[in-house]
Every structure is written in C-alpha cells, then in structure tokens.
C-alpha cells in the first residue's frame, strides 16, 4: 500500500520537542543530555503510529524510550497523540519518551556501543522478495548493527503476523553465535506466559481481530567474546 504523504508532517516534526533533530550529535550521550538520568534506554524500530511505545513509556517511568520511524507522515500520528489538551487526550506526554525520524540502517551511527538495553521490532516490513532480504529488520545485516549498540545481555523482542518472516528470523538467530533465543511462540495471544503484560500495536489489534496468529521471539545478545553474525 502506498504511503500517503502529509505535507505538514515535516514542519510539525521540526517544531515538536519530542522529536530529536541531528540525532548523531548525541551518540554516547543520550542518557546525560536528552533524558538527564542513568535509566536504561529501549528502542522501538519502525514504531508506526506510536501506540505501543506510548503505553510502555507511561507504564515504565524508570526506562527511557526512543521510537525510530522512517516516514514523517507516520511519525506525525504519534506526535498528534500528544498534542490535544490533556482533558481531551487519553495519552499523557511522558518525559521518558523521544522520537527520531530516520532510516534504521544508520542506527549504529546514532547510538554508541553498549548504549541500548533493549530493542523492539513490531510487525516490520517483511520485504518478501529474496533480493530484498538484507532490508529486513531481522536480517544478518541488521542484527550486526544491533550487536554494535546493545549491551551484553541486551534483548531484542520481535513480533509479527508473517510466518515466513518469523521463520527467516529464527533461522538467522539460530545461525549466529552472538544471539540466543530465550523465548518463542507461534501463537502469542494463546501463550499465557509470553502474553502476560503484552501491549498490542495498532497492527496487532487489526491482525488478531482477524484471528491471525501472532508470532513472537525474545533474543539475547551474548558475550562480546563470541562471534558475530
């Protein structure tokens, strides 16, 4: 489906205090200069309209959250959730939340080694054609980028309704000495353990309403002494 361009999106993002401009300036200094605390930083890559990340930030004030979205017209929808007066708005603008409008391929130029504690990948573009496999957010190329910014023991949580992409992701992780799958389910909403505390994204609500199974895995980054993908 073609993404609809919203002309005002870029200007709204420029004016928003929640959107960090020139993000690479803060490499290695996100805690000190942006959040001004030592709390762990969690990322969502491909955050869409922000429902998942906003809920997490409200529920966990001792964690700092950064949402990364490539398209300004999509990120605009997350910003708009924080814009109406509070008495008309179900979302409260949390101080532990920021956004970056950028291509995730440059993620290791924006964050320093060991700077990130957790990464969320929710309903990522499957890029189904084989020649585009390197663009998948769970490809070896992307896991190598995550390896450079995640702490030892840091986690990646991945959810999708696309079985082919999920199988590809599992195979990628199983072929690596740097990552270990800690948990995995092929039917999240009927897995009482992994579904405990689950926050649904907009896509997840849509797909689950159609009775599509949701797949999820949690992978942990191993010691630096191990080989990378």
The single residue of 10, 108, 125, 161 carrying the catalytic annotation is 125
Determine phi and psi for 169, rounding to 5 degrees: -65, -45
* Cβ contact 158:219 at 8 Å: yes
Task: Give the Cα separation of 39 and 24 in Å (integer).
Answer: 20
Task: Let me know if 125 is a catalytic residue.
Answer: yes
101: nearest Cα among 127, 134, 77:
77
* Cβ contact 133:139 at 8 Å: yes
Task: Give the Cα separation of 161 and 206 in Å (integer).
Answer: 10
Residue 146, SS3?
A: helix
* Cβ contact 35:6 at 8 Å: no
Residue with tokens 């009927």: 190
Q: E-strand spans in the chain? A: 41-45, 64-69, 97-101, 116-122, 150-160, 179-185, 215-221
Indicate the DSSP class of residue 192. Answer: T
Quick one: how far is CA 169 from the chain centroid?
Answer: 15
Mind telling me the catalytic residues?
125
């Amino acid at each position: 489906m073609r993404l609809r361009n919203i002309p005002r999106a870029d200007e709204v993002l420029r004016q928003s205090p929640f959107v960090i401009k020139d993000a690479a300036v803060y490499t290695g200094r996100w805690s000190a200069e942006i959040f001004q605390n030592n709390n762990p930083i969690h990322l969502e890559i491909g955050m869409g309209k922000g429902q998942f990340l906003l809920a997490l930030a409200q529920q966990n004030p001792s964690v700092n959250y950064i949402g990364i979205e490539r398209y300004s017209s999509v990120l605009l929808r997350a910003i708009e959730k924080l814009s109406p007066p509070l008495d008309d708005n179900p979302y409260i603008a949390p101080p532990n939340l920021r956004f970056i409008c950028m291509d995730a391929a440059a993620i290791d130029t924006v964050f320093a080694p060991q700077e990130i504690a957790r990464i969320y990948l929710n309903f990522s573009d499957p890029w189904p054609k084989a020649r585009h496999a390197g663009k998948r957010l769970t490809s070896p190329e992307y896991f190598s980028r995550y390896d450079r910014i995640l702490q030892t023991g840091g986690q990646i949580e991945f959810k999708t309704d696309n079985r082919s992409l999920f199988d590809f992701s599992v195979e990628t992780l199983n072929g690596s000495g740097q990552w270990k799958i800690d948990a995995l389910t092929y039917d999240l909403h009927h897995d009482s353990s992994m579904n405990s505390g689950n926050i649904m994204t907009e896509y997840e609500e849509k797909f689950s309403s159609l009775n599509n199974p949701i797949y999820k895995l949690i992978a942990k980054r191993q010691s630096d002494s191990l080989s990378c993908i």
